[in-house]
Amino acid sequence: MAEVSKLARKRITVTGGAGFLGSHVVEDLERLGCRQIFVPRSRDYDLRRADAVARMYRDHRPEIVIHLAAVVGGIGANRENPGRFFYDNLMMGTEMVEQARLSGVEKFVAIGTVCAYPKFTPVPFREEDLWNGYPEETNAPYGLAKKMLLVQTQAYHEQYGFNGIYLLPVNLYGPRDSFDPAKSHVIPALIKKCVDAIELGESKIEVWGTGVASREFLYVADCARAIVLATEHYDRPEPVNLGAGREIKIRDLVTMIARLTGFHGEIVWDSSKPDGQPRRCLDVSRAEREFDFRATTEFEAGLRRTIDWYVATRASVARDPEPIALARTSIR
């Protein structure tokens, strides 16, 4: 008989559980047998407000909280909304942790961001490097707001014995990502550019930057599995990287996505736009050592699944008489 997960009988709240990463986390919890999962929605609980967060905890009495909710976007969105990204993420994190402490929550799982790392962190990024410099400027307000979750959970661990853990996912990709140009990250943005160009018969696409920067990407289902493993097995205050342990230059990424989508036109680089952080690649040894997590999705296979999902979703939206409503539920 298979061993029953100790999470199965817990009341679990997953903020952001209807979103890209959150929906995969909820599915993984359900596969473990968890049946008491609550996903708060912003229309019911404004997580930036202490009273709303306290009410949510009273209403649903979670024993475990996985805090995934965030206001996030790519380089363009970060440049246009630095104040909003800082305030909203800082206040959500602060109130979620403080009200969890006051409510006696057993365990709090805080999801940080690779954007918290300094701009010129030695590669591979080690968790000990988090405080060795200022983050890359275009996403520093977001990265610093999310890094305060680490400060708060560690401070609360020291003073109150609060069981809070802090996980640092690298850039994610996969089905259900946002392909909205106003807030999408690099992989969905590139997929959309290529697919749109093919459909419109365009001979070229324009890409931000020079292509020399590198990024590491983690398939969303792998990240969800890592979060659930850490929720079940990790109880230390030290931060943990979640990644695949390999990097790719943006120029090579664009070439790969063009090939996989079937776009054969010209790629034009707009070097007046920022590259962002020069390199990103994580040391993932702590996650393997502490809760036996290793990414298993081969990168090109994950890209194919993402492209297939996007193309299929676009087709279903085009056939639906109310495409806007369907797009909202399909993507977010």
| Identity of residue 292 | D
Neighbours of 206 (CB within 10 A): 12
Q: Are 139 and 73 in contact (CB under 8 A)?
A: no
134 noted as active-site residue: no
> Do strands 240-242 and 64-67 pair parallel, antiparallel, or not at all (unpaired)?
unpaired
Which residues are registered as beta bridge partners of 37?
Answer: 12
Helix, strand, coil % over all residues of the chain, rounded to 5: 50, 15, 40
Smallest CA-to-CA distance from 79 within 183, 180, 219, 170 is with 183
> Do strands 240-242 and 164-169 pair parallel, antiparallel, or not at all (unpaired)?
parallel
Neighbours of 190 (CB within 10 A): 23
* Active-site pick, 45, 57, 117, 142: 142
Spatial separation of the C-alpha atoms in residues 313 and 27, rounded to whole Å: 19
Largest CA distance in the chain: 62
Spatial separation of the C-alpha atoms in residues 311 and 140, rounded to whole Å: 33
Spatial separation of the C-alpha atoms in residues 21 and 25, rounded to whole Å: 6
Spatial separation of the C-alpha atoms in residues 101 and 106, rounded to whole Å: 9
Q: Is 286 helix (H, G, I), strand (E, B) or coil?
A: helix
Q: Look up residue 33 and give its DSSP letter.
A: T
**Would you state the structure tokens that stand for residue 327, as one six-digit string?**
């797009």
Spatial separation of the C-alpha atoms in residues 81 and 78, rounded to whole Å: 5
Measured CA distances, 262 to 1, 258, 318, 323 (Å):
47, 6, 21, 25
Q: Are 258 and 194 in contact (CB under 8 A)?
A: yes
Catalytic residues: 142
